């Protein structure tokens, strides 16, 4: 079928280039391809209308086409203004069997370099379907689609959208003000829109640490409107994507943005969670001397035992050649920090939102100037002041996640693990609505182990099988699960 006007991407003629990349990615995504083989015949997602908000990359294209292969109807937006790969977006719209003149794929609303207003319009587009229907499933990364529905319902119940979001709204920064505008328009057009949409939604599967954090807060406050699966905390997601994915895509982003040698330099990494561990390992692998900061004594001790200096950013701010934030927290690098950095220091964030680095504070420094080196790479020049003579720093992706803004995000193989969890999560919530309440769930460990299993063959791994008597000795089943739920890997 054609998709007249039902999509918004940069340029459909990029579709062929995108299709070639998707074809190669499919080879690197054995988990998703195995799920197509396993579930294609039974079509468990027939009737599912999935609204997806997740970086519109080549890997995500393989995810989208897997959902379609399992029977779902899908609409897609990116979850970041800089993360779309325009050729992937075009290829998904054209579809494997369509053409540029007669696109027959999935409606995508995403392009690299959206404004914030456009970003929220795109998010609205995946939730408001033509013909008056809406989605019955959400696939989210960072929780923006879920947030829009929840805010919409909240304000519809109140009968008005407030002028100001009020205190306690974290992680949304200026974005929240744009959402309020979007919702104000929508409330005027249809005062029941979001309530109607929310009532149809069977559940959400959430990709990342920050989005999961939002979901637990919502559930604890009793405000979650539908069941949620926490994909991030599948072992085969956070212990792989967040760590090994970052180990690949952090240096990729730094290289594509700056091509500055990391060896011999000092790299500061804020946070030593899963993302921080991958970041630190990658930078050390390049020969950088890595320094960590942490607030959690366990992670700080881990970093020290892994051989890293652990200290305060304030103490080493004038030594670092690279400063990378991985905390998922706000206000980690201030404008005052940036004013004290080495000349030409490179500053970037790889956590989900752009509030880790105080970009607004930086822009407000008296006399500061901003030079675009190329898109998503900016030199900020401080005037001579009491700190020192004129000097500049290089900020990547305007403080948004640099691996997706300056490079193409994580590689296919690791995303195959994450996205296999997503597909299994979608099937769970869509086909077993009675088994899930309005809470946040993790996938059972057998399914986590299954995702890992689907990726062993491609790497030539031979798995040892327990004998029956060994299994009895350990008190587990030969077929798993092999660990208790509290095991930490």
Binding residues for NAD(+): 208-210, 242, 271-276, 294, 329, 350-352, 403
Tell whether residue 210 is a contact of ligand NAI (CB under 6 A): yes
Pairing mode of beta strands 203-206, 228-230:
parallel
φ and ψ at residue 461, rounded to 5 degrees: -80, 135
Tell whether residue 332 is a contact of ligand NAI (CB under 6 A): yes
Task: Specify whether the CB–CB gap between 331 and 354 falls below 8 A.
Answer: no
Distances (CA, A) of 444 to 358, 372, 421: 39, 47, 11
Q: Which residue in 18, 351, 399, 411 binds ligand NAI (CB under 6 A)?
A: 351
For the sheet containing 49-53, what is the strand order?
108-109, 73-77, 49-53, 137-140, 203-206, 228-230, 440-441
- Smaller CB distance to ligand NAI: residue 136 or 232? 232
Minimum CB separation of residue 364 from ligand NAI in Å reads 21
Q: Which residue in 175, 206, 281, 294 binds ligand NAI (CB under 6 A)?
A: 294
Under 8 Å CB-to-CB from 457, ≥6 apart: which residues?
A: 30
Tell whether residue 328 is a contact of ligand NAI (CB under 6 A): yes
Query: Which residues face 222 on adjacent strands?
Result: none
| Pairwise CA distance, residues 392 & 381, whole Å | 4
Tell whether residue 190 is a contact of ligand NAI (CB under 6 A): no
Pairing mode of beta strands 391-396, 345-349:
parallel
Minimum CB separation of residue 252 from ligand NAI in Å reads 11
Residues 220-279 that bind ligand NAI (CB under 6 A): 238, 241-242, 270-276
- Smaller CB distance to ligand NAI: residue 286 or 325? 325
Minimum CB separation of residue 336 from ligand NAI in Å reads 15
Q: Which residue in 2, 174, 181, 296 binds ligand NAI (CB under 6 A)?
A: 296
- Smaller CB distance to ligand NAI: residue 302 or 392? 302
Task: Specify whether the CB–CB gap between 269 and 316 falls below 8 A.
Answer: no
Tell whether residue 89 is a contact of ligand NAI (CB under 6 A): no
- Smaller CB distance to ligand NAI: residue 72 or 323? 323
Tell whether residue 171 is a contact of ligand NAI (CB under 6 A): no
CA 47 and chain centroid, separation: 26
Count residues near ligand NAI (CB under 6 A): 30
Binding segment for ligand NAI among 71-79, 173-181, 350-358, 481-489 (CB under 6 A)? Answer: 350-358
Kindly write out the interface string for residues 270-289 of this chain, putting x where it contacts ligand NAI by CB under 6 A and - elsewhere: xxxxxxx-------------
Tell whether residue 139 is a contact of ligand NAI (CB under 6 A): no
Spatial CA neighbour of 232 closest among 276, 274, 282 = 274
| Pairwise CA distance, residues 316 & 141, whole Å | 33
Residues 404-433 that bind ligand NAI (CB under 6 A): 409-410
User: Cα dihedral sign for 77, 78, 82, 86?
Assistant: negative
- Smaller CB distance to ligand NAI: residue 136 or 293? 293
Helix spans in 101-234 (H): 116-127, 144-158, 173-189, 193-200, 209-220
Tell whether residue 299 is a contact of ligand NAI (CB under 6 A): yes
Task: Specify whether the CB–CB gap between 107 and 5 falls below 8 A.
Answer: no
| Pairwise CA distance, residues 216 & 224, whole Å | 9
Rg (CA), the chain: 23
Residues that bind ligand NAI (CB under 6 A): 208-210, 238, 241-242, 270-276, 293-296, 299, 326-329, 332, 350-352, 401, 403, 409-410
């Amino acid at each position: 079928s054609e998709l007249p006007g039902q999509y918004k991407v940069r340029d459909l003629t990029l579709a062929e280039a995108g299709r070639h990349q998707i074809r190669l990615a499919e080879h690197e995504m054995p988990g998703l391809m195995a799920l197509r083989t396993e579930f294609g015949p039974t079509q468990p997602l027939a009737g599912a209308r999935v609204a997806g908000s997740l970086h519109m990359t080549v890997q995500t294209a393989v995810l989208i086409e897997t959902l379609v292969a399992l029977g779902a109807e899908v609409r897609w937006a990116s979850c970041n203004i800089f993360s779309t790969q325009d050729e992937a977006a075009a290829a998904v719209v054209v579809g494997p069997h369509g053409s540029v003149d007669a696109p027959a794929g999935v409606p995508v609303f995403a392009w690299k370099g959206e404004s914030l207003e456009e970003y929220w319009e795109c998010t609205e587009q995946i939730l408001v379907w033509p013909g008056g229907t809406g989605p019955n499933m959400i696939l989210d990364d960072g929780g923006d689609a879920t947030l829009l529905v929840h805010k919409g319902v909240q304000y519809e119940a109140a009968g008005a959208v407030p002028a100001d979001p009020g205190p306690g709204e974290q992680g949304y920064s200026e974005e929240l003000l744009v959402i309020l505008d979007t919702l104000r328009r929508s409330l005027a057009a249809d005062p029941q829109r979001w309530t109607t949409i929310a009532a149809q939604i069977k559940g959400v599967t959430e990709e990342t640490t920050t989005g999961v954090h939002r979901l637990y807060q919502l559930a604890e406050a009793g405000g979650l409107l539908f069941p949620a699966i926490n994909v991030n905390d599948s072992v085969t997601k956070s212990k792989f994507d967040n760590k090994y994915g970052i180990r690949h895509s952090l240096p990729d982003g730094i290289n594509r943005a700056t091509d500055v040698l990391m060896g011999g330099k000092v790299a500061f990494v804020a946070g030593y969670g899963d993302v921080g561990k991958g970041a630190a390992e990658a930078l050390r692998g390049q020969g950088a001397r890595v320094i960590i900061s942490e607030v959690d004594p366990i992670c700080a001790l881990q970093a020290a035992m892994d051989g890293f200096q652990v200290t305060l950013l304030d103490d080493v701010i004038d030594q670092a050649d690279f400063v990378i934030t991985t905390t998922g927290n706000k206000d980690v690098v201030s404008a005052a920090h940036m004013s004290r950095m080495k000349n030409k220091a490179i500053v970037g964030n790889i956590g989900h939102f752009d509030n880790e680095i105080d970009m607004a504070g930086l822009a407000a420094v008296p006399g500061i100037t901003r030079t675009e080196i190329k898109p998503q790479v900016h030199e900020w020049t401080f005037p001579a002041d009491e700190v020192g003579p004129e000097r500049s720093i290089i900020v990547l992706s305007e403080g948004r996640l640099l691996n997706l803004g300056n490079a193409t995000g994580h590689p296919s193989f690791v995303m195959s693990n994450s996205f296999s969890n997503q597909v299994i999560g979608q099937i769970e919530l869509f086909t077993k609505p009675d088994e899930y309440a309005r809470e946040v769930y993790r996938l059972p460990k057998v399914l986590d182990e299954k995702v890992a299993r689907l990726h062993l063959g491609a790497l030539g791994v031979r798995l040892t099988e327990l004998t029956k008597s060994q299994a009895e000795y350990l008190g587990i089943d030969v077929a798993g699960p092999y660990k208790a739920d509290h095991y930490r890997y």
